[in-house]
Each structure stands twice: as C-alpha cells, then as structure tokens.
Amino acid sequence: MRREAAWRVFAGEYNDTTVEVKGEGEMTPSYVVTPLGAKINRLFVIGVLTDVEQVSESGEFVRAHVSDPTGVFTLYSGQYQQEATTALSNIEVPAFVAIVGKARTYIPEEGTLYVSIRPEKVMEVDSNARDQWILETCSNTKDRIEAMAEAMKMNQSNAYDLRKLGCSKELSEGIVTALKNYGAVDVNKYVTLIQESLQYLIPGKDTLPDLNVEKKKEATIDEAGHEEPVKEVKKTKEKEEPADDNSEETEQTVLETIKKIEGDDGAPWDAITEKCEKAGLDKDVIEEALTSLMDKGLIYEPILGTIKTT
C-alpha cells in the first residue's frame, strides 16, 4: 500500500477544517479536507512545542500543543505511538520540534468537527529548520490558493480540468471536495495568512510581501460553486505603518515586563496586565500583544494563567 505524502499546512488553515472523507474498508485511508483543498491523511509541521500534558494517570497518553505563526496544532499521543509519546514527554518546553503525524478528528456533536494530529515521529530542531518550514509552507499554501482561484473560474469545477492545469491528483480531488462542502471560500483570508507568516520572518519591514496572488480581489464562491463578483481591496499604507510600529513597541514593553517579574514558575497573567497598565497600555492592547508573542514563540503558558519567556 502506497504511503501517503505528508502535507505542509499552517495551523490557521488546518484548524479551519470541517470536512472528513472516510475511507471504505480497513485498508482505505481516511482524509480531512481543508478549505483550500488540501486532502490530508498525514502532515508535516514545525513549530514551538509549548506544553505537554499527561491526560492519563499512567502517563501513557499525552496532549501537546505546537505553535506556528498562524495558530496552534493540538497533538494526542498514546501507547500505540510509544516512540513519539516518549519523545514529547522528554523534550523540555519550549522547544522547536518537527512533527510527522496522521490527521485525526473529534466530532462531539453533529455538525461540529475538531482536528488534531497523532504524531508518528517527533524530533527537536532549531529555529533555522522552523524558518525553512515556514517558507516552504507559504509556497505550498500559495499554490493551493492559485489552484482554488482557477477552480472558482470554472463553470463547474472538476478534477480532470484541474489536472490539466498542473494540479496534483490529490489537490485536484481535494479542491472539488472543498468547493462542494465549504460553500463560500474566502481565499483572501489565506493570502493574508501567508503575508503575515512571511513578515514574521522579516520583522520591522514596513509593507507586507507582494505575493502576486490577485490580492486586489476578494474571491469567493457561492454555494453552487460559482464565482461571485469581486471588489477592489485598497491598501492604507499610511495608516498601517504607525500601527505596526506601535505594535512592536507594545510587544517589547510587555515582553520586558514579563522578564522582570517572572520567577522560576513564570509570571501571573493578572500581574503582567497590572504592570503594563501602569506603564500606560490599554488592557485589550496588552492581551493582543501577549497573543502575538505566544504565536512568535517568545513566550508560552506552562499552566493556565501563567506566562513564561522562552
């Protein structure tokens, strides 16, 4: 049986997944399909391992979280993945890790689906490997956006025509499934996701990278799979630059505050907020800065309500 390829997807796209394609028979693989048409059985991610929690008394079953610039992957590993479970338990967080694993789903009630990863292999890596993964994942995501845009131009999208445009069999099938199940697909959301991920690698850059992915259009489709009229998206560079500068300055203030008050166990969230408010920062701005610093892997939450620097 052919081994499934491991997809590179950001947490922001993977966690938007609500479609599962069940395999028929024991030897037929199951898949999840993202809004951009990634038909995933296995995936490869690199990010910051922020926490590992034992969820069974014996310690044979653990839950972990891995953060990338767009969100957080949830991992569940047990006795049948002993090597991965042991590796997760032995790595001192926070740490950069590479994960190869299977897509898994949890459906608590009809109409609700959550995705996670069952790790097959876990390996500690460095920041250079993480940065390279971000670049490769940006490129792969851009390819899916372009393929989805082409599919939305078709009167009726089909895998055969997408294959003729150069899409892989898996992506062609995934895009057709995505269009049938997600209704309106806002590809502009994922263009922004790429832009922010690239900007994360080059902090201080005034403007976002030009991806040449029809970013002047908000391309969506209706429930029948037809492209809706597009509208222009105007940039407001003059207004964005001060906000970016203030954001970086705010994050630096919050980060320095945490460093000053954290002990061996970390700094209480309320104490961080109180100190930063005394420094003249608004509470909502402080929370936004904390979230951004977590996404960047500069801080993490070892236990609920406590923050530590990496």
CB 173 within 8 A of CB 158: no
Overall average pLDDT of the 24-38 stretch: 85
What is the dihedral sign for C-alpha 300, 303, 305, 307? negative
Lowest-pLDDT range of 5-19, 183-197, 287-301: 287-301
Give the whole-angstrom CA distance, residue 289 versus residue 283.
10
Residue 207, CA distances (Å) to 38, 101, 138 in order: 29, 35, 17
Which amino acid does the sequence have at 214?
E
Overall average pLDDT of the 110-139 stretch: 92
Overall average pLDDT of the 103-122 stretch: 90
DSSP 58-119: TS--EEEEEEETTEEEEEEE-GGGHHHHHHHHHSPSSEEEEEEEEEEEEEEETTEEEEEEEE
Q: How large a percentage of the chain has pLDDT more than 90?
A: 45
Structural domains of the chain in order of their starting residue, each with its CATH number: 6-125 (2.40.50.140), 132-238 (no CATH), 240-309 (1.10.10.10)
CB 25 within 8 A of CB 63: no
Neighbours of 39 (CB within 10 A): 24
**pLDDT at position 245 over 70:** no
Return the closest-CA partner of residue 18 out of 110, 102, 108, 115.
Answer: 115
Give the whole-angstrom CA distance, residue 173 versus residue 39.
8
DSSP 193-205: HHHHHHHHHSTT-
Residue of higher predicted confidence among 214 and 19: 19
β-strand partners of 106: 114
Q: Quote the pTM value.
A: 0.66
Overall average pLDDT of the 151-167 stretch: 86
**pLDDT at position 136 over 70:** yes
- Retrieve residue 81's tokens: 């993945």
Residue of higher predicted confidence among 3 and 181: 181
How far is residue 134 CA from its own chain's centroid? 10
**pLDDT at position 176 over 90:** yes
**pLDDT at position 237 over 60:** no
**pLDDT at position 1 over 50:** no
CB 53 within 8 A of CB 46: no
- Retrieve residue 277's tokens: 């408010």
Q: What pLDDT does residue 181 have?
A: 93
Q: At what angle are helices 283-295 and 269-278 packed, to 10 degrees?
A: 120
Ranges 30-44, 101-115, 215-229, most confident = 30-44
Lowest-pLDDT range of 25-29, 68-72, 160-164, 266-270: 25-29
- Retrieve residue 111's tokens: 């109409």
Say if strands 112-124 and 299-303 run parallel, antiparallel, or are unpaired.
unpaired
Q: Which single residue is written with the structure tokens 């991610």?
A: 45
Return the closest-CA partner of residue 256 out of 226, 236, 278, 276.
Answer: 276
Give the whole-angstrom CA distance, residue 80 versus residue 88.
14
Residue 194's φ and ψ, nearest 5 degrees, are: -65, -45
Give the whole-angstrom CA distance, residue 85 versus residue 78.
6
**pLDDT at position 220 over 70:** no
> Over the chain, what is the mean pLDDT?
81
Give the whole-angstrom CA distance, residue 123 versus residue 203.
27
Overall average pLDDT of the 48-64 stretch: 85
Residue 30's φ and ψ, nearest 5 degrees, are: -100, 160
**pLDDT at position 215 over 80:** no
What is the dihedral sign for C-alpha 137, 140, 146, 152? negative
